Amino acid sequence: MPTSTWTRLSPARRERVLVAAMDEFGTHGYSTGSLNVIAREAGVAKGSLFQYFEGKLDLFAYVAEQTSLRVHAAMRPWLDGYDGSTEFSRHLAGALEAWLDYFASHPLERGVTAATNMELDPAVRNAVRVPVQDIYLAGLRPLAERAVETGDLREDADVDALLSLLLVLLPHLALAVHTPGLEGPVRLVGEHPEVRRANIARLLGPLLADFVPKGP
Amino acid sequence: MPTSTWTRLSPARRERVLVAAMDEFGTHGYSTGSLNVIAREAGVAKGSLFQYFEGKLDLFAYVAEQTSLRVHAAMRPWLDGYDGSTEFSRHLAGALEAWLDYFASHPLERGVTAATNMELDPAVRNAVRVPVQDIYLAGLRPLAERAVETGDLREDADVDALLSLLLVLLPHLALAVHTPGLEGPVRLVGEHPEVRRANIARLLGPLLADFVPKGP
DNA sequence: CGGTCATGTGACCGGGTGGTCATGGGCGTG
DNA sequence: CACGCCCATGACCACCCGGTCACATGACCG
């Protein structure tokens, strides 16, 4: 958690620090990311960083949290718009589409998301997972629960299992698109909207297979 | 590439160094992995490491290469055994199954594979990708090409695209199983063989959808 | 004005890093 | 024996890291 000093800072200064940290962590990851570089790039003394955050890990966790908040905000229309009039899987595909669009136009957020998901150190993963996961869960759980009510998902569907599955696999899917050598075959980026939608549906289908009602 | 000195070393000493390096890189990744720790754990002076390899990156690339060779060797029966008598996708599922078994019983190799796939730094990724990717490609390409001949894959299937897709997604799938919170829903480990096979097929199907002949 | 408090700053610290190299031991050969 | 070669070794190097802290700045207030 940031210190109280951080919350009292001018928004401009906060944004400078945040952007510098997103850039550094997003391109080099947590362990290789350097506070010296962040301070220099933000035009701020290194000591100041420690007046804003308890330490490197605290800063990284904050960056990850803010990033997931931004991503979540960008997808809010899709999350809120689920009223049962469209099928659940179709709606989820729309959300994934919005996600891809967001990453395509927001490289900083994409980098941080990648760094978060690629992190090996369990201690770091855990420090970051709680805030980030809570944000995504808060957004997705209502959707899944409503889908159970409307019958788009099986009555006895294990919602927790579904959510954790989506939480771990979807980011990789959304990020894989930007992995050299993979952009082509997956065809989720730069395609005609209808083609892309079809491809998303094809990848999403089997993930949901266990949770939708059986039979035709 | 290792130096000529390395090739002249006693197999016991080579194995000690290799195991120590696999352990360290596999648990901490490339950038956080420490040569000091590797040397200590292998019972070897740090200077010796530099007599065997050009530097840290060279050692890591070697470790990644040896690891993929071991994985490849473990799957050789499945790769070689494809004679067209079984359907391609079924055979591929068998190979994936063998892969999961191997990772389950070989944590060192699983760690290195994870570290390789989770690496963010493009320079490191590139240094490692060439040897590793070549090994996997050499194993898989004949399979795919034979499948095109037998008609299990479309005549005009883009084999390169299929291979790169498998190369990037399958490792993540094989590793995700050991990610806390995901073991359950994916159900690819510790399951009854038939259940597991069905789940593998369900995940593999859509990946191949674009490459198999159309229509019933 | 002096005093207090919040904030900014960068020199500095201990420690770990990848990498180097002078030293010396072991061994085959002339 | 003495020579040369291969190799093992760990002290050592320059560098960078995350983190600390004594001090400067300046706004607010009695």
Find, in chain A, the residue whose alpha carbon is nearest to that of B185. Answer: A161
- The pLDDT of residue A69 is 94
- What is the predicted pLDDT for the residue at B121? 94
Q: Across the interface, do B161 and A181 touch by the CB < 8 Å criterion?
A: no
Q: What is the pLDDT of residue B85?
A: 82
On whether residue B61 sits in a domain, the answer given is yes
State the burial class of residue B55 (Cβ atoms within 10 Å of its Cβ: 0-12, 13-18, 19+).
Answer: exposed
Which range is least confidently modeled, A11-25, A118-132, B198-212? B198-212
Q: Which of A31, A119, A182 sits opposite B168 (nearest CB)?
A: A182
B50 C-beta less than 7 Å away from strand C: yes
Is any atom of nucleic acid chain C found less than 7 Å from the CB of residue A8?
Answer: yes
Residue that wins the pLDDT comparison between B91 and A191:
B91
Contact A162 B168 (CB under 8 A): no
pLDDT at B216: 43
Q: Would you say residue A215 has pLDDT above 70?
A: no
Distance CA A130, CA B149 (A): 50
Measure the CA angle with vertex B185, ends B183 and B190; round to 5°. 50
Lookup: tokens for A215: 């039979």
> In which band, very low, low, confident or very high, does the pLDDT at A216 lie, cut at 50, 70 and 90?
very low
A203/B206 CB distance under 8 A: yes
SS3 of B88-110: HHHHHHHHHHHHHHHHHHCHHHH
Q: Is pLDDT larger for residue B67 or for residue A166? A: B67
* B11, part of any domain: no
Strand D reaches within 7 A of the B178 CB: no
- Residue A27 within a domain: no
Query: Is A164's CB within 8 Å of B176's CB?
Result: no
Encoded tokens for B121: 């730094």
* Nearest partner of B176 among B100, B122, B64, B72, judged by Cα: B100
Of B29, B158, B206, the CB nearest to A206: B206
Chain A hits for B110, CB-CB cut-off 8 Å, are: none
Shortest Cα–Cα distance, A105 to chain B (Å): 20
B7 CA to chain A: closest CA distance, Å? Answer: 31
- Low-confidence residues in chain B, pLDDT < 70: 215-216
Give pLDDT, residue B215: 54
- Domain membership flag for residue B145: yes
Q: Is the CB of A5 under 7 A from strand C?
A: yes
- Is residue A114 domain-resident? yes
When CB atoms are compared, the residue of A28, A182, A210 closest to B164 is A182
User: Would you say B200 and B96 are in contact if contact means Cβ atoms under 8 Å apart?
Assistant: yes
Integer Cα distance of A175 and A172 in angstroms:
5
* Concatenated DSSP letters of B174-212: HHHTTSTTTHHHH--SSS-HHHHHHHHHHHHHHHHTTTS
Q: What is the pLDDT of residues A178-189, one digit of tens each?
A: 777 677 777 787
* pLDDT of A83: 79
Which run of H or E residues covers position B1? none
- Give which of B120, B172, B211 to mutate to test A binding, by max A Cβ within 10 Å: B120
Give the one of A179, A184, A206 whose C-beta lies nearest to B202's C-beta: A206
Burial class (CB in 10 A: 0-12, 13-18, 19+), B213: exposed
Q: Higher pLDDT residue, B142 or A45?
A: A45
**What pLDDT shows up at residue B170?**
80
Residue of B20, B53, B52 lying closest to B36 (CA atoms)? B20
Asked if strand D comes closer than 7 Å to A56 Cβ, the answer is: yes
Angle between helices B35-42 and B11-32 (to 10 degrees): 150
Inter-chain Cβ pairs, chain A and chain B, closer than 8 A? 79
List the CATH number of the domain containing B129.
1.10.357
**Boundaries of domain holding A68:** 56-208
Contact call for residues B46 and B37 (beta carbons, < 8 A): no
Tally of residues, chain B = 216
Q: Is B159 exposed, middle or buried (0-12, 13-18, 19+ CB in 10 A)?
A: middle
Residue A7 burial (10 A CB sphere; 0-12, 13-18, 19+): exposed
Bases along strand D below 7 A from a protein CB: 6-12, 16-22
Domain count, chain B: 1
How close, in Å, is residue B108 to chain A by CA atoms?
A: 14
Contacts of B172 in chain A (CB under 8 A): 172, 176
- Residue A9 CB in 7 A reach of strand C: yes
Tell me the shortest Cα–Cα distance from B70 to chain A, in angstroms.
22
Distance B48 CA to D2 C1' (A): 28
pLDDT of residue B200: 86
Indicate if CB(B44) is under 7 A from strand D.
Answer: yes
| Separation between the CA of A69 and the C1’ of D28 (whole angstroms) | 36
Residue B116 belongs to a domain? yes
